[in-house]
Chains A and B, each alone.
Chain A
């Protein structure tokens, strides 16, 4: 079974802190994604990566950066956390080509609270 693992289920941080959210997948997928999910707004794409060291902005990249130094790992960075970044963060991965690219595998999510 494909596994997408997010490093923390719950995280509490203070305003202004630098926050790292880590995601690891074990299926050699080329694509990896970071979403945030808020009530009434659904899932919104923050950034995605289609290869090591490659990144593309999603719909809401402001206030975030990402890092993909290894194929299996995709990190989301909040340089200076703010209260409006309190949210559920979801990581996903998929193959880049072929029929299987239609299937995204998601982690369980990290619920981040910024106080």
Chain B
């Protein structure tokens, strides 16, 4: 699975939007972009995933660059509960079964 690069940490104010970047310059045509997050003292949880088009769900939005070499996870209004480590992961859509988790981005949300 191709590698991703994320900032180590980011800070946001409560109720403001948060844009979490991820670079994946070696992405292949069949790699899906996945985002998971891990709240303190919990296992990771699924946030969103996409292939080429931007995606929205009740938790977040995923904006994918046209060349697919980068993507951005958007939390529209950060809450204190969104403080977590966010992982951007690539996985082959056809053959991939497991995920390779990098160090992720630690998001702090300030009241």
Contacts and interface: CB of A to CB of B under 8 A. Distances in A.
B100 A40 contact: no
Dominant secondary structure of chain B at its interface with chain A = loop
B97 A31 contact: yes
Contacts of A106: 42-45
A90 B34 CA distance: 19
A101 interface: yes
Interface of B: 32, 34, 36, 41-46, 49, 87, 91, 97-104
Interface of A: 4, 31, 33, 35, 40, 42-45, 48, 50, 58, 90-92, 94, 96, 101-109
17 contacts: A42-B103, A42-B104, A43-B44, A44-B101, A45-B99, A45-B100, A48-B97, A50-B97, A58-B98, A96-B97, A101-B97, A102-B91, A103-B46, A104-B46, A106-B42, A108-B41, A109-B42
